[in-house]
Amino acid sequence: MNIKIILSYDGTNYHGWQEQQNARSVAGVLLAAIRAVMGDVESVQGVSRTDAGVHAILYTANFHTEKLIPIGNIVKALNSNLPDDIRVLNAEIVDDNFHSQFDCVNKTYIYRINNCEIHSPFERTLSWHYLYELDIKKMQDAVADFIGTKDFTSFCAAGDERENRIRTINSLTISRENDIVKIEVNADGFLYNMVRIIVGTLVEIGNGKAHSVEEIIGSKDRTKAGITAPPHGLYLKEAFYK
């Protein structure tokens, strides 16, 4: 039986999603809870390998089990075995061939910036404190050059060994409400630190640094793009499937 679950988590206290031998991960803690409820489950698959400190709003995962348990009881049972910074929101039985990562057709990420002089203590692990003035209009004007199917090598951190750096960004929006600047991007896939480098580049544009996004993309040179924004402002908002 293949169980698909949707969960939310605050990534502050975890070294990312991926299970690790010597570090606390979301997948490791979740798998321990699944085994406590379902027995000897071999592994849990997640839609994305979120980095240390990155959060998730609607994260999709799945696991296979031979144990029969009423599907309506799984959410409550898992949450009773999980810490408060991880919550399972939904569970359902899906086709045996479903894979949360490989069947995903696109994902949406949100990045939150606390743009003010004095950082809110309630936002310190949930957003990037950027105290300098940002010109939101300039940032919004740069958005169009990101949209479409392009080679995003310039927005890929070292360590990503994938040869294919072509991705399609379907939408990218920037909005501001009081001190919070929100950048939301949807694409068919993301390279390593791609969203955080896009955010860092947009922030530099908003701070007055001259950047041509079109030239950065064309250069295929990481050094031409902006800084890598810190991880704790990033959220996986949702994954979409056929």
**Domain layout of the chain by residue ranges:** 2-94, 110-233
- Average of per-residue pLDDT across 15-25: 91
Quick check: helix, strand or coil at residue 115? coil
pLDDT at 189: 94
Q: Which CATH number fits domain 110-233: 3.50.50.60, 3.40.640.10, 3.30.420.40, 3.30.70.660?
A: 3.30.70.660
pLDDT at residue 159 greater than cutoff 80: no
As a whole-number percent, the residues of the chain with pLDDT over 90 amount to 89
Rounded to an integer, what is the distance from CA 138 to the centroid of its chain? 25
Quick check: helix, strand or coil at residue 77? helix
Distance, in Å, from the CA atom of 115 to the CA atom of 97, rounded to the nearest integer, reads: 44
Distance, in Å, from the CA atom of 170 to the CA atom of 161, rounded to the nearest integer, reads: 24
Identical fold at 2-94 and 110-233?
yes
Q: Cite the active site residues.
A: 51
Q: Which has the closest alpha carbon to 36: 74, 89, 5?
A: 74
User: What digits encode the pLDDT tens for the residues 168-201?
Assistant: 999 999 999 999 999 999 999 999 999 999 999 9
Sorted by sequence, the CB contacts under 8 Å of residue 49 that are 6+ apart come out as: 16, 17, 18
Distance, in Å, from the CA atom of 196 to the CA atom of 202, rounded to the nearest integer, reads: 10
pTM, full prediction: 0.94
Six-digit token string for 89: 């929101």
Distance, in Å, from the CA atom of 103 to the CA atom of 154, rounded to the nearest integer, reads: 26
CATH architecture of 2-94: 2-Layer Sandwich (3.30)
